[in-house]
Structure 1
Amino acid sequence: MPNCHCFWSHIWNISGGVGEMGANMNSIIEEERVRGGVFKDINPEDEDQQPTVIESLCMNCYENGSTRLLFTKIPFFKEIIISSFTCPHCNWTNTEIQSAGRIQEQGVLYTLQVKTKEDMNREVVKSDSASTRIPQLDFEIPAFTQKGSLSTIEGLLDRAVAGLEQDQPIRKATDPAVAEKIEEFIERLKKLKKVEEEFTLIIDDPSGNSFIENPSAPQKDTALTVTHYKRTPEHNAVLGIEEEEDDRKPVNDLDTMRNEVLVFNTNCPECNAPANTNMKLVQIPHFKEVIIMATNCDSCRHRTNEVKSGGATEELGTRITLHLTDPSDMSRDLLKSETCSVLIPELEFELGMAALGGKFTTLEGLLKDIKDLIVSKNPFMCGDSSTADRAGKLELFGQKIDKIIAGEMDVHVILDDPAGNSYLQNVYAPDPDPEMKIEKYTRTFEQNEDLGLNDMKTEGYAEK
């Protein structure tokens, strides 16, 4: 790590610790900003880079002492505030480190495999909200039980030993059995300091402001694992972070999706330029929910729309037959899934599944799309592939479609969907439609094969 040794030696030239400062930290930071920058890189040769000294109250003897503040950056980490307090009256000292940045977007979990004595010299920044664990000893220092500290792995163990030894004289007098067990535990901690056996050190900080040094930085450290994770609501409550909207529903909540149009980036299928696709969840009355997707390209003006069923494949297939008796039938809403075929017996016409994709339109819109597909966009209607006989037949077919749309032909339109996910509006709903017939049927093996259902196992798939 570049300048690492100079950095840490410079920090530890700040003697003592932190007292009750009684000063506004914001005003100090503002003062440092006026002096030419709040957080500076460590440079031992820079004479202007000196800690800020303020008078503060000693919480041991209640006389005035001095607190030194150093605003600095840790290489490969972030900005921190080093605080040290010294009381000349009672010689009490205290140290503390605070993160100068905001709470991070994610929590962080450090897992270090301590194998050598060199690992004990790794520098550690431990914030107030971090918990420390050693699984081999079933030992844990909970969050917010210690002030933030700037130390080493060895220093963390020394601090734990000092905390356990603090009340040992009283325990030996009042509860010798407990004192003996704690003494045994202290000896185990001291053995870990000598690295007589390998152990694991885990620092879990939901605020994301703790740090363990990587001596090999910027290369990867094989002994250190760093994991970032999303905080839970419990973590946010402990850190005092308020949700933006406490009663906000999850993004994937169906009620939210019904009221929102989701937009995601894609490429235009025609010119490959960046475009946006809008997606909306729509409830069709007397049917089910469907997903409508529309793509608009600003570069070539190409537009596409697609409809997918929001439900599962039905147990039975559906065949819908509508007898067209009035031009108003053209305004009926229609949902044609990708698995639906369209038949017009009077024209001896059948459109196979997936030919037009999924569509949510009207009956008139479906017939116009069929005409465009067969007549206007047919590659055999132009160039060397075109023949007079074929072109005449297709032109006649287009004229018949126009007559159906105008209500001049009495025909039947059949929607046959083996998946059962297609729909045609019943204008008499909830009463039966005298001109429309809906049949449910059992799919054949070939239809299940086309839908990929024969090889699909949804129950007992874990059994051997």
Structure 2
Amino acid sequence: MLMLTKVPFFKEVIISSFECDECGYRDNSIQSGSRIQDKGAKYTVTIATSRDLNRQVVKSDTATFHIPSLEFEQPPSKKGEITTVEGLIDAVVSGLQMFQPERKEQDAETAAKVDVFILKLQHLKTLEKPFDIILDDPTGNSFVENPNAPRKDEGTTILHYTRSKEQNTFLGISEEEEAEVPEVTADSFEGQAGTQDLNLKNEVLTFKTNCPECNVPCDTNMKVVDIPFFKQVVIMATVCDACGHRDNEVKGGCGIEPKGTCIKLRLTRQDDLCRDILKSDTCGVKIPELELELVEGTLGGRFTTIEGLILSIKEQLESQNPFLIGDSSDQAICSRMKDFCSKLDKIAKGEMLDIHLILDDPAGNSYLQNPFAPDPDPNMEVTHYERNFEQNELLGLNDMKTENYTSGDS
């Protein structure tokens, strides 16, 4: 049996289940229903309660499972699976116990050490003290459930990272990417622009890509735009004629700023919902009154309005929650989610105001329109701050070498 579904706050997956009536053998596996993501994902989760043990986990066939306190690492398996944190531990125990009789006959000392390690694994489930697990997937197609959704998961840290050359080779995408990315020179656009000096501000460039929803070839338009009282950005828009999917993405056109930026706006009237907003792909979003916090990378980069951003959050919560439907759904979480989406809907309609919207972008590439510019907005506070080590690590700045980079030292 095959079932295509969506994992909440995640993406499409294909679940397969097999059962033999003759011998009783059962098996299930999971495959990603979407492409390899642009970045890998590393989930670090603190397991402190029985609720944490019941977190649902999507583990792809390229993911590595770690338990740092036991110095344990499980390499990628031949198949993906959908299970729980407790199920991951039980699977490791089952795998170690499988060949214990043979080990005891051939190497009693090693078998004894394995028995001790199995006891340590089983002891983790008593939760006498919290422990961490790490799920590291270079494809970005693994996932650990947030039981507090849509609120922030205090016990989970998610790191999206750029894959190394070795990881790309392991995934078999290095040669393909090199073949698909042609060398870009000044003459590449000569025929399109009619001149060697291409003015990107006055040109809309079009390049071929695949639809992120149905994977059918389509066009993506790209244009450089100057935002008043801000900076230059690159806006990319994709429209798929096959499935109707529409999407836009925004990239900073001037690199990473020296300092991070935190923008805090108090919504006091319905007109505030029409303010333009540029949310970069490194920007987090918070609405303290709803206890809502979106980590960096959620929703990607967007150029929209405050109303459009609120509706995008609501749409993601409603459309990507298959764990909240069916016989196994948690009715308490379902009720909480419906109530939360109802509040978002009221905010988007201007029926629920006097709340705060916070944009926190360590790269400093996000923007919120000030209708009083160049005068200050009495309801908006903009703060520039020094990034911490973790934020610089997220942006890849800690390993960046800007001086003597031509020397042999690296």
* Paired position in structure 1 for 2:367: 423
Shift of the alpha carbon at 1:384?
4.4
**Counterpart contact for 1:375–1:381, Cα < 8 Å:** no
Of 386, 389, 400, which residue of structure 2 is paired with 1:445? Answer: 389
Shift of the alpha carbon at 1:379?
2.9
Going from structure 1 to structure 2, the CA distance change for 1:273 and 1:405 (only over 3 Å counts) comes to: closer
* Paired position in structure 1 for 2:333: 390
Please give the per-residue CA displacement for 1:266-317, whole angstroms capped at 9, x wherever unaligned.
2222222221111111111110111111111111222221111111100100
- Superposed counterparts of 1:189-200, under 5 Å: none
- Superposed counterparts of 1:55-70, under 5 Å: none
* Paired position in structure 1 for 2:196: 250
Going from structure 1 to structure 2, the CA distance change for 1:271 and 1:405 (only over 3 Å counts) comes to: closer
Shift of the alpha carbon at 1:460?
1.7
1:392 partner SS:
helix
1:443 partner SS:
coil
Of 395, 399, 403, which residue of structure 1 is paired with 2:342? Answer: 399
Please give the per-residue CA displacement for 1:121-175, whole angstroms capped at 9, x wherever unaligned.
xxxxxxxxxxxxxxxxxxxxxxxxxxxxxxxxxxxxxxxxxxxxxxxxxxxxxxx
In 2, distance between residues paired with 1:396 and 1:297?
Answer: 33
Please give the per-residue CA displacement for 1:198-253, whole angstroms capped at 9, x wherever unaligned.
xxxxxxxxxxxxxxxxxxxxxxxxxxxxxxxxxx99xxxxxxxxx99xx96435x3
Shift of the alpha carbon at 1:378?
2.4
Going from structure 1 to structure 2, the CA distance change for 1:444 and 1:261 (only over 3 Å counts) comes to: same
Going from structure 1 to structure 2, the CA distance change for 1:282 and 1:393 (only over 3 Å counts) comes to: same
In 1, distance between residues paired with 2:250 and 2:329?
Answer: 33
| Number of residue pairs aligned between Structure 1 and Structure 2 | 220
TM-score of the two chains, using structure 1 as the length reference: 0.45
1:383 partner SS:
coil
* Paired position in structure 2 for 1:285: 228
1:355 partner SS:
coil
Q: Which amino acid counterpart does residue 370 of structure 2 have in structure 1?
A: N
Please give the per-residue CA displacement for 1:64-91, whole angstroms capped at 9, x wherever unaligned.
xxxxxxxxxxxxxxxxxxxxxxxxxxxx
In 2, distance between residues paired with 1:456 and 1:384?
Answer: 50
- Superposed counterparts of 1:56-135, under 5 Å: none
TM-score of the two chains, using structure 2 as the length reference: 0.51
In 1, distance between residues paired with 2:194 and 2:209?
Answer: 29
Shift of the alpha carbon at 1:385?
4.8
Structure 1 spans left out of the alignment, 5+ residues: 1-231, 234-242
2:247 partner SS:
strand
In 2, distance between residues paired with 1:248 and 1:273?
Answer: 30
In 2, distance between residues paired with 1:413 and 1:274?
Answer: 37
In 1, distance between residues paired with 2:329 and 2:271?
Answer: 36
**Counterpart contact for 1:313–1:419, Cα < 8 Å:** yes
Of 253, 260, 272, which residue of structure 2 is paired with 1:317? Answer: 260
In 1, distance between residues paired with 2:208 and 2:347?
Answer: 39
More contact order relative to length (CA 8 Å, sep ≥ 6): 2
**Counterpart contact for 2:274–2:305, Cα < 8 Å:** yes
In 2, distance between residues paired with 1:393 and 1:384?
Answer: 17
2:282 partner SS:
coil
**Counterpart contact for 2:232–2:253, Cα < 8 Å:** yes
Shift of the alpha carbon at 1:441?
0.3
**Counterpart contact for 1:280–1:293, Cα < 8 Å:** yes
* Paired position in structure 2 for 1:29: none
**Counterpart contact for 2:283–2:359, Cα < 8 Å:** yes
In 2, distance between residues paired with 1:349 and 1:279?
Answer: 32
Moved over 4 A (4+): none
Q: Which amino acid counterpart does residue 350 of structure 1 have in structure 2?
A: E
Please give the per-residue CA displacement for 1:397-448, whole angstroms capped at 9, x wherever unaligned.
1111122223323110000000000000001000000000000000000111
Which range moved further: 269-278 or 389-398? 269-278
2:390 partner SS:
helix
**Counterpart contact for 1:290–1:310, Cα < 8 Å:** yes
* Paired position in structure 2 for 1:306: 249
**Counterpart contact for 2:269–2:353, Cα < 8 Å:** no
Q: Which amino acid counterpart does residue 434 of structure 1 have in structure 2?
A: P
In 1, distance between residues paired with 2:233 and 2:400?
Answer: 23
* Paired position in structure 2 for 1:411: 355
Shift of the alpha carbon at 1:361?
0.3
In 2, distance between residues paired with 1:271 and 1:403?
Answer: 32
In 1, distance between residues paired with 2:301 and 2:291?
Answer: 23
In 1, distance between residues paired with 2:382 and 2:389?
Answer: 22
Does 2:297 align with 1:354? yes
* Paired position in structure 2 for 1:264: 207
- Superposed counterparts of 1:326-345, under 5 Å: 326-345=269-288
**Counterpart contact for 1:333–1:424, Cα < 8 Å:** yes
In 2, distance between residues paired with 1:452 and 1:385?
Answer: 41
1:278 partner SS:
strand
Q: Which amino acid counterpart does residue 374 of structure 2 have in structure 1?
A: P
Identity value in percent = 57
User: RMSD value over aligned CA atoms?
Assistant: 2.4
**Counterpart contact for 1:404–1:410, Cα < 8 Å:** no
Shift of the alpha carbon at 1:329?
0.2
Q: Which amino acid counterpart does residue 405 of structure 2 have in structure 1?
A: Y
Higher Rg: 1
